[in-house]
Chain A
Amino acid sequence: GQQLNQSPQSMFIQEGEDVSMNCTSSSIFNTWLWYKQDPGEGPVLLIALYKAGELTSNGRLTAQFGITRKDSFLNISASIPSDVGIYFCAGRGTGRRALTFGSGTRLQVQP
């Protein structure tokens, strides 16, 4: 089956620092999504990517769909305390409807 490796598992940074996390898959994906989950809530979509090489921004967040279609990264610039949470990548392979989720990156921001 499809597998996603998400790294790092956790990060502890100072407010104002930039953050980068990534996901790699064992097979080709045609959709990459990045979600953020706060405690006690469901995942909330941050960025959706649909084309290889696509680079998309959402405020301080930037994500890219890798050229090989087997990886994606998410960058957060100038982190703030409210960026704290768990970030999940998710991908959908060719001919599939369901998403495969990464194991998440737990981000902590020190004010």
Chain B
Amino acid sequence: DAGVIQSPRHEVTEMGQEVTLRCKPISGHNSLFWYRQTMMRGLELLIYFNNNVPIDDSGMPEDRFSAKMPNASFSTLKIQPSEPRDSAVYFCASSFRPFLGQTQSNQPQHFGDGTRLSIL
């Protein structure tokens, strides 16, 4: 089975440029999460969606960051304009959260391999 697919795997760009990270969650999963990982701060949740709707974006650093989920199989995280301090590995993860009334339990998150972003 295909896992969470992220692209690109690596991105190097100059500060001020727009950066778009992409994620395809596991088919059938209805929750999607964007994380950022750095040596200093570890894994931080940026935003998550449930059924394509943003639920909590309190982890988004500032207005330069935006995320969209136009459909159940695709999400983007955009940084505009990018700054050197945005350099990090960005992970996307997905999981299945049962609807009200369903008997299945919450499932753990499955992570993609990440996008290593370097802003010069």
Contacts and interface: CB of A to CB of B under 8 A. Distances in A.
Given A40-B113, A42-B113, A98 B108 contact: no
A34 B113 CA distance: 17
Interface string B98-111: 00000001101111
A90 to B, nearest CB: 8
6 nearest A-B pairs in the assembled complex, by CB-CB distance: A42-B111, A101-B43, A48-B108, A43-B111, A42-B113, A103-B42
Interface in B29-71: 31, 33, 42-43, 45, 48, 50, 55-56
B114 interface: yes
A104 B114 contact: no
A97 B55 contact: yes
Contact of A42 (B45, B48, B114): B114
Contacts of A88: 43
18 contacts: A33-B108, A35-B111, A41-B113, A41-B114, A42-B4, A42-B93, A42-B113, A42-B114, A44-B111, A45-B108, A92-B106, A97-B48, A97-B56, A98-B45, A98-B48, A99-B45, A99-B109, A104-B42
Contacts of B116: 40
Chain B: interface secondary structure?
Answer: strand
Interface of B: 4, 31, 33, 42-43, 45, 48, 50, 55-56, 91, 93, 97, 105-106, 108-114, 116
Interface residues of A, number: 21
Contacts of A101: 42-43
Contacts of A33: 108-109
A102 to B, nearest CB: 8
A31 interface: yes
Interface in A94-111: 97-104
